[in-house]
Amino acid sequence: MSGFTVAIVGRPNVGKSTFFNRLLEQRKAIVDNVSGVTRDRQYGVTEWGGKSFNLIDTGGFVPESEDVFETEIRKQVMIALEESNALIFMVDASTGITTLDEAMADVLRRSTKPVLLAVNKVDNSDRLLEAAEFYSLGFDNIFFLSSMSGSGTGELLDDLIGRIKEDDVDPEDANLPKFAIIGQPNVGKSSLLNALIGQERTIVSEIAGTTRDTIHTRYNLFQKDFVLIDTAGIRRKTKVHEDLEFYSVIRAIRAMDEADVCLLLLDASKGITAQDLSIFALAVKKGKGIVVLVNKWDLVEKETNTAREYEKELKNRLAPFTDLPILFISVIDKTRIFKAIESALEVYENKQRKIATSELNEVMLKAIEAYHPPVVRGHPLKIKYITQLPTHVPSFAFFCNYPDDVKQAYKNYLENQLRENFNFKGVPLRLFFRKK
């Protein structure tokens, strides 16, 4: 399924971040009673009813404000509107309809995207009566809920996942590996695509953000056949003043959803940024294979151990998932760009790897015998049996007597043993512990 993206929008301080945290089941966005705390966008992946979707938390929308932050937030909200498949418009029952709500509603009524009006802070019957005034905003889908307690969120999520459709995939391309080229603006994504296929498929310029739409290119050279997804295309004139960093992240998320393996492109002179790390973390959460490409390596002054030191520093930043290929390339000089494709194909193969249950038990039970799990409340924790699950992301079920008491350190040990004995380089692994 390709990525279904939902943006939470609304004026400041209506509870968007509280709602975002509830859906993600983690305290990711900062929540405060002071309005305007959310300036940076937050991105996450959440699941409901067996379907997962991308979630974007935006800052509070204030029209026609001269404040520098509110101007930026307004631009980002408009980008989120354009890029999302559906919108959750959040309002506050405790204050009723304000002029800011009406301004936001006016923007949303012009959108062709489905809008779900979420009336927040409805935590008693009096509030429910007062909240009826929000019908006057003219939206068909209205939900009364409380972000704090979670009441009413289920109905909204049921409606939302009913809108997620399976995408039609070109049957010819359905079984081909798909590689997405992702990274910050102006790191050389389009240049890499052009260098690989040997023609100017996408427009390249020094201006960050020249590329706009995701472009799918079938690569069929040198006995290799796969689809390259570049977050690319020409941006429209009206979008010249957009927030490029935000735009690139939404594009990366959308490309990531379709891909089997992500080629994360970094600029050697800048290293890995917080934005790259958040994209990397999302790719891991989505279970995508990853190859890290450090571009513009020709511009770096080198000494004997420059590459080794650089790689060590990169792995420190990417920890705990460090079992992945890191290549130093130069798109301009075409240095190691075809090695990057070979690495991506290897990671794709690793992602498809299925280990026979007999082999898995023979290897892993020896590893467990060599280093026993810790004792739980005076009882020895025993793992009796391991099997690989039939999932897209390599996943393993460990059957044991106290599945809830396996500590993270021991889970890490088991994952390291799987990686040492079977080649899963570049692929996130999932470990599940179940009652035997």
Q: Which of 64-68, 236-240, 394-398 has the highest mean pLDDT?
A: 394-398
More confident residue, 106 or 304: 106
Q: What is the pLDDT of residues 75-88, one digit of tens each?
A: 767 777 777 889 99
CA-to-CA distance for 180 and 331, rounded, in angstroms? 16
Residue 186 backbone class (left: φ over 0; alpha: ψ -120 to 50; beta: rest): left
Give the number of other CB atoms < 10 A from CB of residue 202: 23
Using CB atoms within 10 Å of the CB of residue 244, give its burial: 0 to 12 exposed, 13 to 18 middle, 19+ buried. middle
How high is the pLDDT of residue 82?
Answer: 76
For tokens 């390596």, name the residue.
Answer: 297
Residue 79: strand, helix, or coil? helix
Vertex 309 angle, CA 306 and 311, to 5°: 105
Cα 176–178–183 angle (5° rounding)?
Answer: 170
Taking 80 as the threshold, does the pLDDT of residue 74 lie above it? Answer: no
Phi-psi sector, 43: left (phi>0), alpha (psi -120 to 50), beta? beta
User: Taking residues 265-277, what's their average pLDDT?
Assistant: 85
Check residue 325 and give its pLDDT: 93
Closest Cα to residue 285, out of 23, 18, 45, 41? 45
For the stretch 20-61, pLDDT in tens is 888 877 654 444 444 444 444 567 778 888 788 888 887 776
> With a threshold of 0.85, does the pTM exceed it?
no
Q: Is the pLDDT of residue 232 over 50?
A: no
**Highest mean pLDDT: which range of 166-180, 210-224, 291-305, 418-432:** 418-432
- Token code pair at residue 127: 């509030």
pLDDT digits (tens, 9 = 90+) for 327-374: 998 888 888 888 988 999 999 999 999 999 999 999 999 999 999 888
CA dist 156 and 154 (Å) reads 5
Span 86-104, mean pLDDT?
Answer: 88
pLDDT bucket at 235, cuts 50 / 70 / 90: very low
Reference 107, options 62, 67, 71; nearest CA is: 62
In this prediction, residue 374 carries a pLDDT of 84
Give the confidence band of 276 by pLDDT, cuts at 50, 70, 90: confident
pLDDT of residue 243: 54
pLDDT of res. 101:
87
Distance CA 231, CA 65 (A): 32
> What pLDDT score does 63 carry?
65
Among 118, 113, 117, 165, which residue's Cα sits nearest to residue 145?
118
CB contact at 8 A, 80 and 73 = no
- Strand partners for 399: 385, 434
**Amino acid residing at 162:** G
